[in-house]
Structure 1
Amino acid sequence: MTEIRTRAVTYAADGLDMTGYLALPGGSGPGPAVLIGPEGPGVSDVERGRAEALAELGYVALAFDLHGGRYFREPEDMNARCLPLLADAGRLRGIGRAALDVLTAEPRTDAGRIGAIGYGTGGAVALELGRDGAPLKAIGTINALMTGGVAESARIRCPVWAGVGSEDPIMTPARREAFTTELQQAAVDWRLTVYGGAHHAFPYPPVDHPTVPGVAFHPAHAARAWRDVVALLGECVPVDN
């Protein structure tokens, strides 16, 4: 099999110069593609590794930027950037649309077969893309049970899968209930997987900078959640054999 190829891609969004990470599968023809939204700190080797793993499976994969090339090591700095974003659906949609435009413009992308997955803030971007009516074939989110109103969620055109840790102090049972009730009332094809004993950001490997209580890596559930993401894509955005 031809080796995957990777490169940085630059584009504008949210008034910033963004730098995403594009991974291309072997071969030459157009095929299915996936947007990958990062955790709140921003694009790191974790997201780049996910893009490469999806390219190995046959997807054109773009890990998109949230912060103009910055990676926030301090939780306070991350929150100062992310909390206003999470409160502004228009900004989230703008970040997502800019990344989607980059992915769609890539010649290897089949524009009719694009999914979006995201973690934390990046998952909120994926959801808001769906609520903005983007022609996605699948949305997968982890730790991102953001609501937007029944009328807005009714614009989602594809299946939605969401994963959350049972012990997540941010994505509480009340937020799970509000999220699933909204999607149900909006007639969205939805699924929710609760990973027992997992906390917030459970798929994110240990990092060498401060974290906050309620955030913890869970290696077993991280592997299971990745398999669930890949299964969602395989169902809704299959790779040509």
Structure 2
Amino acid sequence: MAQENNQPTPAEAEPKTDPEFIPAWGPRVEGEIFEYSTGGETYQGYLARNVNDETPRPAVLVVHEWWGLDEYARARADQLAALGFVALAVDMYGGGQVATHPDQAGEFSSQVMQDWPAARARFEAAMAQLRQHPAVADTGMAAIGYCFGGGVVMNMALSGMPLEAVISFHGAPTQAASARGEFEGVVQIHNGGADSLVARDDLSAMARALEAQGANVKVINYPQALHGFTNPDADALAEEFDLPLGYNAAADASSWQAALLLLDKTLNQ
């Protein structure tokens, strides 16, 4: 009695490959030092992008907290790069300086805000250099900022910088811009409802000033959120330096989602 041969033929043994189902690679985010110069000084930003994506993408500038261009600002740039933007965490202090104590941070940030023409020149130099990068699309740009950086980007809008969107997270609403200009973009301000470092009157005055320059302004307050509510290190910094800071996961997630929706609407359409 003949035995059946159940072994597959060579043709059947070969796996069938359908080109339509070959998986694509996800984002591979890489960061690099990004230098730009103005006023005889060199600034060391951090550029993050998805190197698996060869299509030029819209750019977002990220302005750091008063501590300087630290790991938190770089992490936010990495997040934006993974989501399809080219992100530049700018260096507003020069030489990549990072403060290690609130007194030093206050000194650094005050020097920047008290000389607004120089601050604007630094930001403009970063924008101009960023536009030359081959990974950046020839479209509009946006800027986001945290604490000190939130104040910087709000003042950039007051100055009439060519940005499609400006987003501030627990930003200082001091009006430092010495010269005002028309701003046709959107300004989104995320503020902690329990933030003792941001005066409500100052925040309202900033919103009114931005509207007077033509901006579409939206202020979002998060109940019980303290200053620095987006930074997971805020609790540790509060304990170390006795500062009224605090991380708030719900406010962090909500504000980030709102920011991403605005970036998508203003930069990707």
User: 2:230 pairs with 200, 203, 206, which one?
Assistant: 203
User: 2:249 pairs with 200, 204, 219, which one?
Assistant: 219
User: 1:146 pairs with 140, 155, 174, which one?
Assistant: 174
Structure 2 CA distance for partners of 1:230 and 1:215, relative to 1, 3 Å:
same
Identity of paired residues, percent?
26
Q: Tell me, yes or no, if the aligned pair for 1:95 and 1:125 is still in contact at 8 Å.
A: no
User: 2:81 pairs with 30, 39, 55, which one?
Assistant: 55
Is 1:72 aligned to 2:99, yes or no? Answer: yes
User: 1:107 pairs with 111, 134, 148, which one?
Assistant: 134
Give the Cα separation in 2 of the matches to 1:88 and 1:63: 21
Q: Tell me, yes or no, if the aligned pair for 2:92 and 2:123 is still in contact at 8 Å.
A: no
Give the Cα separation in 2 of the matches to 1:56 and 1:107: 18
Following TM superposition, by how much is the alpha carbon of 1:212 offset from its aligned partner in structure 2, in angstroms? 4.2
Larger Rg, first or second structure (1 or 2): 2
Q: Tell me, yes or no, if the aligned pair for 2:158 and 2:209 is still in contact at 8 Å.
A: no
Of structures 1 and 2, the one scoring higher in RCO (CA 8 A, sep 6+) is 1
Corresponding residue for 1:229?
259
Is 1:18 aligned to 2:43, yes or no? Answer: yes
Following TM superposition, by how much is the alpha carbon of 1:15 offset from its aligned partner in structure 2, in angstroms? 5.1
Letter in 1 for 2:251: H
Following TM superposition, by how much is the alpha carbon of 1:34 offset from its aligned partner in structure 2, in angstroms? 0.4
Count of residue pairs the alignment pairs up: 238
User: 1:5 pairs with 30, 33, 42, which one?
Assistant: 30
Q: Tell me, yes or no, if the aligned pair for 1:138 and 1:232 is still in contact at 8 Å.
A: yes
Letter in 1 for 2:135: R
Taking structure 2 as the reference length, what is the TM-score of the superposition?
Answer: 0.81
Q: Which stretch of structure 1 is more off in the superposition, 202-211 or 170-179?
A: 202-211
Structure 2 CA distance for partners of 1:19 and 1:168, relative to 1, 3 Å:
same
Q: Deviations over 1:178-233 (max 9, x none)?
A: 11222233332110011111111211122665434322222221122211211110
Taking structure 1 as the reference length, what is the TM-score of the superposition?
Answer: 0.89
SS at match of 2:241: coil
CA RMSD of aligned residues (A): 2.2
Structure 2 CA distance for partners of 1:161 and 1:178, relative to 1, 3 Å:
same
Unaligned runs of 5+ in 1: none
SS at match of 1:181: helix
Following TM superposition, by how much is the alpha carbon of 1:102 offset from its aligned partner in structure 2, in angstroms? 2.2
